[in-house]
Homo-oligomer: A and B are copies of this chain.
């Protein structure tokens, strides 16, 4: 029974993930999710108060999954390891996004709706990004304490934002105007150029 419950919840989230990516939040009804998950309507409402909570769970799970891969907890870096760390993690993310269009679509769609002025979406995106930013900062500050970026005229938080923007921009174009290999090369070029400006330790 407990096993069955877990399966239902998983099926709901999988159906919702695919629906939200291909049809968007507003284009995906609870009926669509119920039908594609192969569960009863009662089952969906047993786990989630409404569509908005299903949506937030799908996106949060996605972000958590990516974070587990690229930002294992407790990482400490020396200055000498940092460049390689960022190169590798960025390339990993590029590979994941290149392989998984649904994952990419989920984040681009959230960004579009936030930009369209949907306040719930904007607030959710902002808090999601803030939490990811904090996690990245906690890793980079072992290698680059606050102030290390002052040579470049930016703060730790700004540095993280620059590279999240860059990664987002690159990922957006994979398969459309650039190949995965070009995406990887762009990432390496940009991160090496910027971190090169900081000098070694």
Contact = CB atoms under 8 A, between A and B. Distances in A.
How many monomers of this protein are in the complex? Answer: 2
Contact of A176 (B105, B111, B172, B173): B111
A189 B111 contact: no
Q: Most B CB atoms within 10 A — which of A164, A167, A172?
A: A172
A125 B172 CA distance: 12
28 contacts: A22-B116, A101-B115, A105-B112, A105-B115, A105-B116, A108-B108, A108-B112, A108-B115, A111-B172, A111-B173, A111-B176, A114-B176, A115-B172, A122-B176, A125-B176, A126-B176, A126-B177, A130-B177, A158-B182, A158-B185, A161-B178, A162-B190, A166-B170, A168-B169, A189-B194, A190-B193, A193-B193, A196-B197
Interface of A: 22, 101, 104-105, 108-109, 111-112, 114-117, 122, 125-126, 129-130, 152-154, 158, 161-162, 164-170, 172-173, 175-178, 182, 185-186, 189-190, 193-194, 196-197
